[in-house]
Amino acid sequence: MLSRQSWKTQQRPGKVALGFAVLGVLGLSSYAQAQSSSLSIDSERVTYADHVAQIITDNCVVCHREGGIGPMQLTNFEQIRPWAPLISMRVANREMPPYAYDQHIGIQDLQGDWRLSDEEISTITNWVAQGAPEGDWGDRSHPVANLPNPDEWNFADQFGQPTLVLDSAPIDVPALGNDMWHRPYVQTGLNQDRCIKAIQVKPAGNAKAVVHHANSDLEVMNADGEYEDYGQLTEYAMGKWGEIMPDGVCRVLPANSRVRWDIHLFPGGVGATAPGTMIEDNVVEIGIWLHPEGYADKARFKQDLKLYRLNQGELVIPPHGTAMTQGFHSFDHPVRVDSFQPHGHLRMRAASLEIFYPATGRTEQISQISNWSATWHHSHLYEPDVAPLVPTGGVLVIKQWYDNTANNPNNPDPDFWVVEGSRTADEMTHAWLAVTHLDEDGYQEILAQREEAKQRTVAAE
Ligand code: HEC
C-alpha cells in the first residue's frame, strides 16, 4: 500500500448499499444530473454519522485540516455542513479529491489512486440532496483521520526515513515578479552505484505554492575529474507525490555524482493557497530511499525516467483557439511502462497515452486524463502486474490537447497568443515516463507470468 493511502484508515466504511449504485455506472458528469437522479431514485436515509463522516475523514482531511493545503477544514460536521453543496458538486464532477484520471478508459489499477469509488460519490451526493443531515452518533464518536505530519516524507510510513536527503541551496523568492530559475549543484556523496527504491521531491514548508517544478539531473565525475551528464534523477511538478520503483528493477544512483537542480519558481505562487508573500530561504529537498547494497546484482533490468517530447513542430495556440500535439516513441528492445505523467501549463486540458502494435495494426488506449490542472501533476504509477508491455518496435503514442478559449476554467486570458516556453504563461508539451528496459527473454517471461495468473483466476472461479 502506498502511504498516500495511509490516510484512508484500514477499516473502509462498509459499502453502503442504498440501491442507487446504478448512478455511478451511468457516470455522474454534472452536479445537476447527480442531484436530480439521486432525488428520484434514492429511498434510504443517508446521514453524516452513518455514512459520510468516514469517507470525508479518509479522503479529504489530509489536505482540509488546520495547516493543510486545502482552503478550508473538513474535520467535523460543523465545519463541513456549510460546504455541503459545494462538496457535492466538486465530488460529483470528480474535481475533489484532486486526481484527474479518466474512469473506464484504459488501465484503472494505479498505485496511490486518490479517486473516490462511484458508491462513495453517490453516498455524498445523496446525503447533500437529502439536506445533509448529521444523524445520530449513538455511542460512537467521530472517526479520526490517520494522518501523516504534513512536513513528513510521503513514504515514511512504508519505508521509514529516506536513506539520503539532498537539499537545494536556499533562495529568497519575492512576493511579486517574473518567473525565476534556480540551478544549484549538490553532491550525492556516494562512492558506489546504488539502486533507488523510492524518491520524493519536497519543497520545504510554505515554499510549496511557489515551486512550479524542480528537475534534478545527475552528473558523474569522469577519469579527468570533470562532471559529465548521466541522466535524469527525478522530476517534480506542483502536487506530485513521489515515485516508487517496481521490485526487481534498478534505477541507478551512480557513484561520484552530483545533482544539477533546475527549479522553476513563481513569485507569489499559483493556485488558491498561494501565499502572495515573500518567501525566504526557499529550499527544495529530495528524499531518496535506497535498496541495500548489492541489489543491483539481483535486479535484472534497469529503469529510467525520461522526458518524451510530443511536438513535431512549433506549438502555437491562437487567441480563443485550440491545439493538439502528438509524439511517437519506440525502442529497439521490449519495455514495460511503469508510470505516465503528462506535463503542460494553464491551457492544457487533456492528455492520453496509447500503444500502437505494428504487427497487428492495433492501437490500445492505456490512459487518459481529460480534466487536466497544472496545480496537480500526478505521476500515474501502474500496478506492476498490469503495467503496459511494449514489444520491440511497438510505438508509444502520446497526445495532449490545449484550449485557449474562455471555456477553459484555468485560462488566465484567452486573448493571448500562447507559444512554447517554460514560463507559467507559456505552454509545454511533453510527458515523463518511467520505463523498465527488458530483453526478449524477460518480456516473454512477464507475458507467461501474466497468462498463468489469468489461468489461475479462471480456474478459481
Ligand atoms: C491533496 C489535497 C486535497 C484533497 C485530498 C482534497 N482536497 Fe479539496 N481542495 C484542495 C485544494 C488545494 C483546494 C483549493 C484549490 C482548488 O479548488 O483546486 C481544494 C478545494 C476544495 C473545494 C472548493 C473550495 C472552494 O472554496 O471553492 C471543495 C468543496 C473541496 N476541496 C472538497 C474536498 C472534498 C470533499 C475532498 C474529499 C472527498 C477533498 N476536497 C480532498 C486540496 C485537497
Arithmetic mean of pLDDT, 88-117: 93
Architecture of domain 162-293: Sandwich (2.60)
Residue of 96, 124, 376 best suited for mutating to test ligand 1, as the one with most atoms within 8 Å of CB: 96
Q: Are 99 and 156 in contact (CB under 8 A)?
A: no
Side chain identity at residue 129, one-letter code = A
Q: Is 284 exposed, middle or buried (0-12, 13-18, 19+ CB in 10 A)?
A: buried
Nearest CA to ligand 1 atom 42: 70
- Give me 265's grid cell: 519558481
Nearest CA to ligand 1 atom 27: 86
86 CA → ligand 1 middle, Å: 10
User: How far, in Å, CA of 450 to CA of 83, rounded?
Assistant: 46
Q: Residue 224 pLDDT > 60, yes or no? A: yes
pLDDT in tens, 354-366: 999 999 999 999 9
96 CA → ligand 1 middle, Å: 5
Q: Which atom of ligand 1 is nearest to the CA of 59?
A: 37
Q: Which residues of 78-114 are buried (b: 16+ CB within 10 A; e: fewer)?
A: eebeebbeebbbbbbebebbbbbbbeeebbeebbbbb
**Given pLDDT bands bounded at 50, 70 and 90, which one contains residue 255?**
very high
User: How far, in Å, CA of 426 to CA of 307, rounded?
Assistant: 18
Domain-wise residue ranges, the chain: 3-129, 162-293, 301-445
Residue of 154, 265, 155, 167 whose CA lies nearest to 209: 265
Q: Which atom of ligand 1 is nearest to the CA of 114?
A: 5
Nearest CA to ligand 1 atom 28: 87
* Length, in residues, of the chain: 461
pTM over 0.75: yes
Q: Which residues of 56-67 are buried (b: 16+ CB within 10 A; e: fewer)?
A: bbbbbbbbbbee
- Give me 256's grid cell: 561520484
Q: Are 434 and 398 in contact (CB under 8 A)?
A: no
Which residues surround ligand 1 with Cβ inside 6 Å?
A: 56, 59-60, 62-64, 69-71, 83, 86-87, 90-91, 96-98, 116, 271-273
Q: Are 187 and 245 in contact (CB under 8 A)?
A: no
Q: Which atom of ligand 1 is nearest to the CA of 89?
A: 29
**Given pLDDT bands bounded at 50, 70 and 90, which one contains residue 273?**
low
Q: Which atom of ligand 1 is nearest to the CA of 69?
A: 12
What is the per-residue pLDDT for 448? Answer: 96
Residue of 8, 57, 59, 60 best suited for mutating to test ligand 1, as the one with most atoms within 8 Å of CB: 60
The answer to whether the 162-293 and 301-445 domains have the same CATH topology is yes
Dihedral sign computed on CA atoms, order 286, 352, 427, 309? positive
Write the CB contacts of 452 (distance below 8 Å, at least 6 apart in sequence): none
**Given pLDDT bands bounded at 50, 70 and 90, which one contains residue 41?**
very low
Architecture of domain 301-445: Sandwich (2.60)
Kindly calculate the radius of gyration of the chain based on its CA atoms and give it in whole angstroms: 23
220 CA → ligand 1 middle, Å: 42
User: How far, in Å, CA of 132 to CA of 88, rounded?
Assistant: 10
**Given pLDDT bands bounded at 50, 70 and 90, which one contains residue 43?**
low
Q: Which atom of ligand 1 is nearest to the CA of 86?
A: 29
Compute CA distances 26 → 33, 42, 110, 382, whole Å.
10, 15, 22, 25
What is the per-residue pLDDT for 271? Answer: 55
pLDDT in tens, 388-424: 999 999 999 999 999 999 999 999 999 999 999 878 8
Q: Residue 450 pLDDT > 50, yes or no? A: yes
Q: Are 404 and 317 in contact (CB under 8 A)?
A: yes
Q: Which atom of ligand 1 is nearest to the CA of 95?
A: 18
